[in-house]
């Protein structure tokens, strides 16, 4: 029976979460001491992850830039109140989730059109299963926003149950149930393709 | 595999299941093919979730740069745009000044004031004058008659010396309109002995608007 490995958890390859978090903590402390220029470095360190998270949540590339901008504007305003009880990335993800929620509430539900840029598949280098990831994206787009947020934060961004609960603002039990339901729905959409891949 | 075992299996896959429960669960599901297949599906799903990156494609406008700067003082916020505006104005003015120095503009000519009297372009008077013209000017300068009456007299007079009636009409119009070209001085030879030499016609004439066509100009 396969077990959890380090390669399956945490953020995407190329980023060491511990180093990133320690550097962010140092910059935050400098910022709180009055070195406001440290925020530029914070943005440079965290912007790829925030952008990726928001893109996975909204599935609409034209809106990602605005939401990232809004996330950092809110972070700039409230960074003075960051007490360091959680990781900076988790705190920032919570802002991004709230910004995305506001955007989803204000935006009427729209069905994606074929060939829509927001749903065009962008596979990672080395992953040649274009049709599979298209189906995955379709299944992800069919999830309710709360389920999608929980699933993306845990599965794609590698946050623990507690971190997801902190970011979303709900109990851990809710995180577990949402994650289970999200997995069920996505696997139901990918059942046929997955049967071909797995023995 | 029941639903409870499935939930615990997913927690174990996520690394969130306590060690005490984990060992028992693994023993329970060690020979369950459905559990093994579900774990495989979870692994594929995680791989897809990590590989999925809708915002990963580079933007057409390039990477976004979010530059945060500390808030500046108020006078700086006001002074910088003002300085920028002044620089822009100077940059726009200097080339104009240089070009103006190279190509000086022609002196401005004041436009004439709007004429209160319609002055028709007429043929200028020229010397020597005919006896009729000399008589006309003398009549115009006579204080008792005035230029208008003189002009009427010229027009009504049919002297044999004036061959072209149009010339008389033109002369009358010149006098009536007070054209500067009519301010002429009679030649001494034309002045009769004993009479005072007439001076130039300086008094402006009253406006005259001819109603009849002036006829052909000679």
Which fold would CATH assign to domain A129-199?
A: Arc Repressor Mutant, subunit A (1.10.10)
> Which A residues in the span 154-183 are in contact with B, Cβ-Cβ below 8 Å?
154-156, 160-161, 176, 179-180, 183
Instruction: Choose the most confident range, by mean pLDDT, from A62-71, A116-125, B191-200.
Output: A62-71
Alpha-carbon distance of B199 to B179, in angstroms, equals: 16
Q: Does A39 touch chain B (CB under 8 A)?
A: yes
What DSSP string describes B72-118?
Answer: PPHHHHHHHHHHHHHHHHHHHHHHHHHHHHHSPPPPP-PPPPPPSS-
Least confident of A69-78, A162-171, B55-64, B81-90: B55-64
Q: Which two tokens stand for residue B18?
A: 């306590």
Please give, rounded to a whole number of angstroms, the shortest distance from the CA of A101 to a CA of chain B: 18
Quick one: closest CA in B to A179, which residue? Answer: B10
Alpha-carbon distance of A162 to A86, in angstroms, equals: 10
Q: Where are the domains of chain B?
A: 3-47, 131-190
- Which residue's entry shows tokens 């999830």? A143
Least confident of A152-156, A179-183, B138-142: B138-142
Judged against a pLDDT cut of 60, whether residue A93 lies above it is answered with: yes
pLDDT the model gives residue A146: 92
What residues in B contact A147, CB-CB < 8 Å? Answer: none
ipTM above 0.85, yes or no: no
Residue A4: which of B117, B9, B144 has the closest Cα? B9
Instruction: Choose the most confident range, by mean pLDDT, from A23-27, A145-149, B62-66, B149-153.
Output: A145-149
Instruction: State the alpha helices, DSSP H only, in chain B.
Output: 3-14, 19-28, 33-51, 74-102, 131-141, 147-156, 165-177
Q: Does B144 touch chain A (CB under 8 A)?
A: no
Sign of CA dihedral A92, A97, A103, A105: negative
Q: Does B46 touch chain A (CB under 8 A)?
A: yes
pLDDT the model gives residue A100: 92
Judged against a pLDDT cut of 60, whether residue B206 lies above it is answered with: no
Q: Does B19 touch chain A (CB under 8 A)?
A: no
Taking a C-beta distance cutoff of 8 angstroms, is the pair B22, B12 a contact?
Answer: yes
Higher pLDDT, B22 or B64: B22
Q: What is the length of chain B?
A: 218
Residue B32 banded pLDDT, cuts 50, 70, 90: confident
Which of A183, A187, A195 to mutate: most B Cβ within 10 Å? Answer: A183
Q: For helices A38-58 and A17-32, give the axis angle rounded to 10 degrees.
A: 130
Higher pLDDT, A39 or B73: A39
Q: Is this model's pTM higher than 0.90 or not?
A: no
Measure Cα distances from B48 to A131, B9, B45, B67, B192 in Å: 11, 20, 5, 33, 125
Taking a C-beta distance cutoff of 8 angstroms, is the pair A100, A175 a contact?
Answer: no
Alpha-carbon distance of A95 to A89, in angstroms, equals: 10
> Which A residues in the span 44-103 are in contact with B, Cβ-Cβ below 8 Å?
47, 51-52, 54-56, 59-61, 64-65, 68-69, 72, 76
Q: Which two tokens stand for residue B154?
A: 């010229």
Question: How many CB atoms are located within 10 Å of the residue A131 CB?
Answer: 10
Average pLDDT over residues B143-155: 59
Higher pLDDT, B99 or B55: B55
Q: What percent of chain B has pLDDT over 90?
A: 4
pLDDT the model gives residue B173: 57
Q: Start-end ranges of CATH 1.10.10.10 in chain A?
A: 129-199
Higher pLDDT, A39 or B130: A39
CA angle A47, B46, A193 (to 5 degrees): 130
Comparing CB atoms, the residue among B16, B55, B67 nearest residue A52 is B55
**A17-108: which CATH architecture?**
Orthogonal Bundle (1.10)
Judged against a pLDDT cut of 90, whether residue A148 lies above it is answered with: yes
Q: Does B55 touch chain A (CB under 8 A)?
A: yes
């Amino acid at each position: 029976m396969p077990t959890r490995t380090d390669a399956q958890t945490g953020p995407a390859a190329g980023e060491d979460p511990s180093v990133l978090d320690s550097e962010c903590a140092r910059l935050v402390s400098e910022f709180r001491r009055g070195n406001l220029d440290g925020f530029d470095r914070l943005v440079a360190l965290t912007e790829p992850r925030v952008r990726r998270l928001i893109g996975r949540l909204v599935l609409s590339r034209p809106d990602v830039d605005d939401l990232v901008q809004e996330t950092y504007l809110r972070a700039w305003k409230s960074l003075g109140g960051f007490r360091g009880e959680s990781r900076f990335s988790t705190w920032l993800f919570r802002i991004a989730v709230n910004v995305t929620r506001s955007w989803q509430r204000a935006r009427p539900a729209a069905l994606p059109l074929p060939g829509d840029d927001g749903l065009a598949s962008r596979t990672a280098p080395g992953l040649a299963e274009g049709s599979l990831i298209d189906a995955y994206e379709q299944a992800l787009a069919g999830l309710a926003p709360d389920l999608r947020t929980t699933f993306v934060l845990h599965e794609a961004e590698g946050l623990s149950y507690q971190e997801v609960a902190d970011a979303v603002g709900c109990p851990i039990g809710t995180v577990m149930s949402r994650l289970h339901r999200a997995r069920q729905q996505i696997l139901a959409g990918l059942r046929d393709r997955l049967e071909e891949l797995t023995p | 595999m029941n639903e409870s075992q499935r939930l615990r299996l997913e927690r174990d896959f996520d690394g969130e299941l306590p060690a005490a429960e984990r060992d028992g669960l693994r023993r329970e599901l060690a020979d369950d093919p459905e559990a093994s297949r579900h774990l495989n599906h979870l692994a594929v799903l995680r791989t897809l979730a990590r590989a999925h990156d809708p915002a990963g494609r580079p933007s057409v406008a390039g990477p976004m740069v979010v530059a945060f700067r500390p808030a500046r003082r108020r006078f700086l916020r006001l002074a910088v745009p003002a300085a920028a505006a002044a620089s822009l104005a100077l940059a726009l003015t200097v080339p104009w000044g240089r070009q103006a120095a190279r190509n000086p503009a022609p002196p401005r000519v004041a436009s004439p004031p709007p004429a209160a009297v319609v002055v028709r372009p007429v043929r200028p008077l020229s010397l020597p004058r005919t006896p009729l013209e000399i008589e006309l000017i003398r009549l115009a300068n006579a204080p008792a008659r005035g230029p208008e009456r003189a002009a009427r007299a010229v027009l009504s007079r049919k002297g044999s010396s004036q061959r072209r009636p149009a010339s008389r009409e033109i002369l009358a119009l010149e006098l009536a309109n007070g054209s500067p070209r009519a301010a002429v001085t009679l030649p001494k030879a034309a002045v009769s002995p004993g009479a005072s030499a007439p001076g130039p016609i300086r008094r402006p004439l009253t406006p005259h608007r001819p109603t009849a066509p002036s006829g052909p100009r000679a």
